[in-house]
Amino acid sequence: MPNERLRAALLEQGLTIATLAESLDVDPKTVERWITKDRTPYRRHRYALASRLGVDETFLWPGALSNEQVTAASSSELVTIYPHRTSVPRDAWGRLFATAKEEIGVLVYSGLFLSEDSGIQRTFAEKAGARVRILLGDPDSPQVAERGDDEGAGDAQAAKIGNALVPYKNLRRQDGVEFRFHRTVLYIYRADDQLLVNTHVYGVTGPHAPVWHLRRIAGGDLVNTYLESFERVWDGATPIPGD
């Protein structure tokens, strides 16, 4: 069976078999066999090829790495763990988003600490040339109501979402920044291949729940799991009324 993912990635990048073979210093027939016969390249070539095409190695060759290799690589994606979100240094949020060149993603219920931070707001505005997507909880959803009950806050959670929208007033008008309402229970903060994941713990408010700092590396699958989840939430989210 041909490797259609590899073929499509080449086409998307406007590369030919000959130019790719030259950049990797391999015979063009070797590259052709990778595509038409789904031959698996040596690992050094897989890394180089995936980097050249801007995709993950495991996307092009899902079975290339053993479970042990994927597990080891995924473990290396964990940079640090904070016992509580309040333990994350204040400037770490700004540094995270400032590193983004292609993508910023925020998935929260209210995320008031971000919307009320003028420095973060400026960073989001400056990064609008990339893609900035902000997901807030739908205040009318049963998920938000349930989370409020979990935290013993009642209707306060829905009210906080409304409060968070106010500082975003100007940002919501800016091209390159998208807002949507979601109905899930996740807290993800993304800057390209780095994530701060605020875990969900029943009966514990977001500021007091642990945070994982993750950075994607070749062969790992931990970051990919969260990024794929973010995309599923985004696809099911709805535009915020008035936007």
CB 222 within 8 A of CB 79: no
The pLDDT, as a whole number, for residue 98 is 94
The pLDDT, as a whole number, for residue 163 is 92
CB 190 within 8 A of CB 104: yes
Structure tokens that stand for 22 in this block: 């030259």
Mean per-residue pLDDT of the chain: 88
The pLDDT, as a whole number, for residue 94 is 92
Tell me phi and psi for residue 119, to 5 degrees. Answer: -65, -40
Give the 3-state secondary structure percentages of the chain, helix then strand then coil, rounded to 5.
50, 15, 35
Instruction: Give dist(CA 152, CA 84) in Å, integer.
Output: 18
Residues of the chain with pLDDT under 50: none
The pLDDT, as a whole number, for residue 186 is 80
Instruction: Give dist(CA 110, CA 162) in Å, integer.
Output: 8
Count of CB atoms situated within 10 Å of the CB of 180: 19
Instruction: Give dist(CA 130, CA 138) in Å, integer.
Output: 25
Of residues 200, 227, 189, 196, the one with CA closest to residue 212: 196
The pLDDT, as a whole number, for residue 142 is 83
The pLDDT, as a whole number, for residue 191 is 96
User: Which residues does residue 214 pair with via DSSP β-bridges, in sequence order?
Assistant: 78, 195
The pLDDT, as a whole number, for residue 44 is 84
The pLDDT, as a whole number, for residue 24 is 87
The pLDDT, as a whole number, for residue 135 is 97
The per-residue pLDDT for range 29-74, each reduced to its tens digit, is 999 998 998 888 888 888 888 888 877 777 788 777 667 776 777 7
